């Protein structure tokens, strides 16, 4: 395995961000929800065991559907609290969009050290002392203000209400708890789902890619410093509106938001859950800056991006919708009948990600 394959497969098969079912018994909640479903006037259509981008619920007496997602962005708030709180909120909103919903309101929870205690904000934040000369010492209270401001600014840009939340200052760990929950309403009758549906479908990427966001590399132990993704406020709004407009055409067969591990995770998870494969040409990906390596394009976690799967005959129309909203868009590959995701840059092989982890990856 090369470096980017190691990082991506660690994220997909080992790290609990993508493998929460290793520690949480989803079947227990599935059984619970079946029991509750016999008594409740509402209906849970997509629950936690589906391992999709968000939950989907039908409210009693309501013809539409409700979408809900909770997301944490704890560790990234150590080196970059403002951006990471904003991208945590924005990521949860994109998960709602990925199911076909418009985000409507948000609740948040912040847990941190007492307000008067000092914290290190910057690349050395996890060490508790600065050796790089680039960090800032501030109070926990000042960091709380940055986190709240990040959430506030993303909600303001996206037109999402903040309706409540919680705060605890009894935490003692270096890493704060930063959690957001977003509720939205479907803009189409049926929810979109993550698994790939049909060989031959085109992969349409919305949004531009840069070199920010290396959380997956950091968690795999392949880099020394976490460099969280930057918050992209205007771009998030534009991508959301373009995505919802495309979804309303009825042409989208599967959809994923791009967060942790970027293009690599979004496409690899989709084809694995759908029992299919993919072939992607990373040289076709719209980029924010020249000179990005194929590996950066594959795994960096730049915000404000979505990937659609559409039938070949619908690709041009979906691209036209995104263009009409002034969002960068490109056809970057196709769904195949194989059992792996293959990422190339032109003729160069960059990574091959199978459906099952290689022997020895999981001990």
CATH number, domain at 55? 3.30.1330.10
Confidence class of residue 362 from pLDDT cuts 50, 70 and 90?
low
Asked if residue 50 belongs to a domain, the reply is yes
Q: What is the mean pLDDT of residues 39-50?
A: 93
Helix/strand/coil for 180: strand
Under 8 Å CB-to-CB from 257, ≥6 apart: which residues?
53, 91, 94, 95, 97, 98, 266, 305, 306
Q: At which of 156, 186, 216 does a domain end?
A: 186
Confidence class of residue 38 from pLDDT cuts 50, 70 and 90?
very high
Asked if residue 301 belongs to a domain, the reply is yes
Confidence class of residue 203 from pLDDT cuts 50, 70 and 90?
very high
| Per-residue pLDDT, 61 | 86
The encoded tokens of residue 287 equal: 């980029």
Q: Does the structure show a pLDDT above 60 at 363?
A: no
206 shares a domain with 350: yes
297 shares a domain with 323: yes
Confidence class of residue 317 from pLDDT cuts 50, 70 and 90?
very high
| Per-residue pLDDT, 272 | 96
Q: Containing domain of residue 143, as a range?
A: 41-186
Q: Name the percent of the chain lying above pLDDT 70.
A: 99
Asked if residue 14 belongs to a domain, the reply is no
Q: What is the mean pLDDT of residues 287-303?
A: 95
Over the stretch 232-266, which tens digit does the pLDDT of each residue have? 999 999 999 999 999 999 999 999 999 899 999 99
Mean pLDDT over the full length of the chain:
95
Q: Does the structure show a pLDDT above 90 at 36?
A: yes
| Per-residue pLDDT, 358 | 82
| Per-residue pLDDT, 359 | 77
Q: How many domains does the chain have?
A: 2
Q: What is the mean pLDDT of residues 10-32?
A: 89
Q: Does the structure show a pLDDT above 80 at 361?
A: no
Asked if residue 163 belongs to a domain, the reply is yes
Asked if residue 4 belongs to a domain, the reply is no
172 shares a domain with 56: yes
310 shares a domain with 279: yes
Asked if residue 26 belongs to a domain, the reply is no
Over the stretch 101-144, which tens digit does the pLDDT of each residue have? 999 999 999 999 999 999 999 999 999 899 999 999 999 999 99
Asked if residue 175 belongs to a domain, the reply is yes
210 shares a domain with 157: no
């Amino acid at each position: 395995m090369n470096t980017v394959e190691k990082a991506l497969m660690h994220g997909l098969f080992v790290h609990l961000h993508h493998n929460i079912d290793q520690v949480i018994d989803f079947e227990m909640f599935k059984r619970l929800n079946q029991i509750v479903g016999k008594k409740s006037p509402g209906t849970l259509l997509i629950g936690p065991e589906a391992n999709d981008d968000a939950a989907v619920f039908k409210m009693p007496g309501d013809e539409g559907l409700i979408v809900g997602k909770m997301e944490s962005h704890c560790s990234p708030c150590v080196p970059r609290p403002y951006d990471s709180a904003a991208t945590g909120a924005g990521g949860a909103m994109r998960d709602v969009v990925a199911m076909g919903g418009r985000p409507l309101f948000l609740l948040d929870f912040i847990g941190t050290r007492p307000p008067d205690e000092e914290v290190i904000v910057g690349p050395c934040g996890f060490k508790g002392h600065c050796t790089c000369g680039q960090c800032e010492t501030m109070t926990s209270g000042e960091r709380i203000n940055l986190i709240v401001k990040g959430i506030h600014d993303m909600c303001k840009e996206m037109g999402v209400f903040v309706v409540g939340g919680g705060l605890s200052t009894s935490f003692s760990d270096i890493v704060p708890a930063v959690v957001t929950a977003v509720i939205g309403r479907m803009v189409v009758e049926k929810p979109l789902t993550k698994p790939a549906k049909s060989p031959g479908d085109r992969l349409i990427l919305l949004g531009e890619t840069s070199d920010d966001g290396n959380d997956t590399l950091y968690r795999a132990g392949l880099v020394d410093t976490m460099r969280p993704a930057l918050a992209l406020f205007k771009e998030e709004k534009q991508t959301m509106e373009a995505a919802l407009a495309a979804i309303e055409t009825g042409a989208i067969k599967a959809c994923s938001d791009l967060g942790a591990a970027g293009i690599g995770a979004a496409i690899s998870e989709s084809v694995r859950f759908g029992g299919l494969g993919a072939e992607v040409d990373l040289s076709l990906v719209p980029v924010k800056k020249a000179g990005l390596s194929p590996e950066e394009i594959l795994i960096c976690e730049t915000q404000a991006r979505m990937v659609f799967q559409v039938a070949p005959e619908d690709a041009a129309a979906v691209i036209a919708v995104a263009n009409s909203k002034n969002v960068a868009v490109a056809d970057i590959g196709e769904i195949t009948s194989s059992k792996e995701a293959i990422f190339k840059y032109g003729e160069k092989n960059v990574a091959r990600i199978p459906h099952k982890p290689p022997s020895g990856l999981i001990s």
